[in-house]
């Protein structure tokens, strides 16, 4: 399938500005990755955008008359959000296991149609209890979107491509939040058809959501090893899988009780689940969920101004996410930008905890949290890279990060961010300061574990007579056989001597770095 001139111009511009495609990438592979960017990343971004468009609509509707119309007094708004999180959590991990078994090109768009219809239904609720019911089903049907699309995106790209693609995907979330605010601001004075402005917001969101699902039915290609998409040639399908295999990604190992054991014993599971949750929850104060907007409302801004200005923390997170991804792809070290963002997060939360400061200082603190929220997607990239060898374990880990995050979003706002405490939220900012500090401590823990594993891989490869400079999948297969002979444990003798050539070529950071450096040496030879 050929690409039109506008597409070619766009990708040429993208390549010049960001180095989107490596200079040594063949034209055949480059054309394949362009298709992946359009059909896989494109659909996933639009789906994630509409999810957050529909989710954020509730906060904007709250400030546009829903509070009075549905009697959302006291802590009722938090209960509505909590019910959404209950629905979202219930099917989280099962959904991500299902997506490794069922055709995702039908599963994900069907889920999107369902949450689009439930969002449409929200426009016509008359009571608080009807709103609770609809939000539960919006959450339940939207479960598949974030982690499901995230899993698919990480199944198509090599490690060196993951950072920027995940940043683009992540940017769909603040973009959805922003657009929902702008739509509600534009509908502020519309009362056509006997409907209030907040009701029209849900109708417009549903109208945007359904066509994206239709696009998915026709164009979304599933994962490389199962795709039957007519938009990819047989040669491209084979190349899509082979290039991932050469980068250390393995085929599905299937579902069994051994999977539970593999996940529970993996340091990646425990470290990234904790790190991801703390990293995503700590900047809660800058989210459009209420704290930032409630502060603006307390300053007597109009409803339209609250909805418009309330999007700026989302605006700054988009370039922050893209720049962090470009930098981390260049450095091949995810932890550096996460450490930087964690420090910004801690500073911003401490400033808001102090609270007694000028308008400019408070606004700057919220902006710091917005910027710090940008690199949050690197947690997912880091986890995906370290779990490249185990598709199901990776899927479960990513789903668990999101599921536990949903559970915490259900509990923490009800305790630390009660509406009656706004806009000061002393308990909320105290909680966020503690989270910021702990997640900073987890970053070096993950770095140490990763370097330990990579050192073991290198030493064990030498010990069993496998060239670790060869294809990672071939080396890993041989090592797996040796591991089974040793009772399932990775045993490395202290006496193993690493050849100087290997030690110099492999800086104990990433296997992909190792192979890339070796390939350059071979080319020069």
pLDDT in tens, 100-159: 778 888 999 999 999 899 999 999 999 999 999 999 999 888 888 877 888 788 888 887
pLDDT at 463: 61
Beta-carbon count within 10 A of 503 CB: 12
User: In the chain, helix, strand, coil percent, each to 5?
Assistant: 75, 0, 25
DSSP element (H, E) containing 440:
helix 426-463
- CA–CA gap between residue 326 and residue 437 (Å, rounded): 26
Low-confidence ranges of the chain (pLDDT < 70): 1-19, 96, 246-257, 287-289, 388-391, 457-525
- CA–CA gap between residue 57 and residue 205 (Å, rounded): 8
Contact assessment for residue 400 and residue 269, using Cβ atoms and an 8 Å cutoff:
yes
Which residue is associated with the tokens 């605010």? 181
- Using alpha carbons, list the distances in angstroms from residue 175 to 167, 283, 318, 379: 12, 17, 8, 20
pLDDT at 180: 77
Q: At a CB cut-off of 8 Å and minimum separation 6, what does 109 contact?
A: 47, 213, 214, 215, 216, 217, 220
- Using alpha carbons, list the distances in angstroms from residue 212 to 33, 45, 220, 271, 352: 21, 10, 11, 35, 39
Report CA torsion sign: 317, 318, 320, 322: positive
- CA–CA gap between residue 114 and residue 121 (Å, rounded): 11
Contact assessment for residue 15 and residue 21, using Cβ atoms and an 8 Å cutoff:
yes
Our measurement of the distance from residue 459's CA atom to the centroid of its chain's CA atoms, rounded to an integer in Å, reads 33
- CA–CA gap between residue 302 and residue 238 (Å, rounded): 56
And the tokens for 357?
């400061």
pLDDT at 46: 92
Q: What is the DSSP letter of 232?
A: S
- CA–CA gap between residue 48 and residue 318 (Å, rounded): 14
Residue 179 has, within 13 A of its CA and on its CB side, a CA count of: 20
pLDDT at 13: 64
- CA–CA gap between residue 173 and residue 170 (Å, rounded): 6
DSSP element (H, E) containing 245:
helix 234-245
Q: Is the peptide bond before 423 cis (omega within 30 degrees of 0)?
A: yes
And the tokens for 410?
């259900």
pLDDT at 521: 44
Contact assessment for residue 199 and residue 123, using Cβ atoms and an 8 Å cutoff:
yes
- CA–CA gap between residue 310 and residue 163 (Å, rounded): 28
pLDDT at 253: 53
């Amino acid at each position: 399938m050929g690409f039109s001139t506008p597409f070619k111009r766009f990708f040429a511009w993208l390549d010049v500005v960001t180095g989107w495609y490596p200079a040594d990438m063949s034209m055949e592979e480059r054309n394949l990755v362009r298709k992946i960017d359009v059909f896989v990343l494109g659909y996933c971004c639009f789906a994630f955008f509409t999810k957050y468009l529909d989710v954020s609509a509730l906060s904007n509707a709250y400030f546009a008359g829903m509070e009075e119309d549905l009697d959302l007094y006291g802590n009722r708004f938090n209960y509505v959000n909590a019910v959404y999180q209950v629905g979202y959590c219930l099917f989280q991990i099962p959904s991500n296991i299902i997506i490794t078994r069922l055709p995702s090109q039908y599963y994900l768009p069907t889920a999107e149609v369902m949450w689009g219809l439930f969002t449409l239904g929200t426009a016509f609720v008359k009571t608080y209890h009807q709103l609770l019911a609809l939000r539960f089903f919006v959450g339940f049907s939207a479960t598949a979107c974030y982690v499901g699309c995230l899993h698919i995106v990480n199944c198509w790209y090599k490690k060196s491509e993951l950072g920027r693609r995940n940043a683009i995907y992540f940017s769909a979330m603040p973009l959805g939040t922003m657009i929902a605010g702008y739509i509600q601001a534009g509908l502020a004075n519309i009362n056509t058809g006997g409907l209030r402005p907040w009701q029209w917001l849900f109708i417009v969101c549903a109208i945007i959501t359904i066509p994206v699902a239709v696009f998915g039915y026709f164009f979304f290609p599933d994962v490389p090893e199962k795709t039957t998409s007519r938009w990819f040639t047989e040669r491209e399908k084979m190349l899509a899988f082979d290039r991932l295999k050469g980068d250390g990604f393995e085929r599905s190992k299937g579902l069994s009780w051994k999977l539970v054991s593999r996940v529970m014993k993996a340091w990646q599971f425990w470290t990234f689940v904790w790190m991801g949750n703390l990293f995503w929850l700590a900047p809660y104060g800058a989210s459009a969920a209420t704290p930032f907007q409630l502060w603006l409302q307390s300053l007597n801004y109009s409803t339209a101004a609250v909805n418009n200005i309330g999007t700026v923390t989302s605006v700054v997170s988009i370039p922050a996410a893209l720049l962090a991804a470009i930098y981390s792809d260049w450095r091949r070290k995810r932890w550096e930008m996460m450490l930087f963002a964690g420090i910004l997060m801690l500073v911003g939360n401490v400033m808001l905890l102090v609270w007694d400061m000028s308008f400019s200082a408070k606004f700057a603190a919220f902006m710091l949290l917005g910027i710090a929220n940008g690199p949050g997607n690197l947690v997912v990239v880091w986890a995906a890279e370290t779990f490249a060898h185990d598709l199901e374990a990776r899927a479960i880990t990513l789903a668990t990060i999101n599921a536990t995050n949903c559970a915490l979003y259900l509990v923490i706002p009800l305790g630390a961010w009660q509406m009656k405490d706004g806009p000061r939220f002393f308990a909320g900012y105290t909680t966020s300061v503690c989270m910021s500090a702990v997640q900073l401590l987890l970053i070096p823990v993950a770095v140490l574990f990763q370097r330990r594993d990579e050192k073991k891989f290198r030493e064990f490869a030498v010990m069993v007579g496998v060239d670790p400079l060869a294809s990672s999948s071939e080396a890993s297969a041989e090592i797996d056989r040796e591991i089974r002979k040793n009772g399932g444990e990775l045993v490395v003798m202290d006496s193993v001597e690493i050849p100087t050539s290997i030690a110099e070529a492999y800086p104990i950071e990433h296997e992909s770095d190792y192979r890339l450096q070796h390939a350059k040496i071979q080319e020069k030879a």
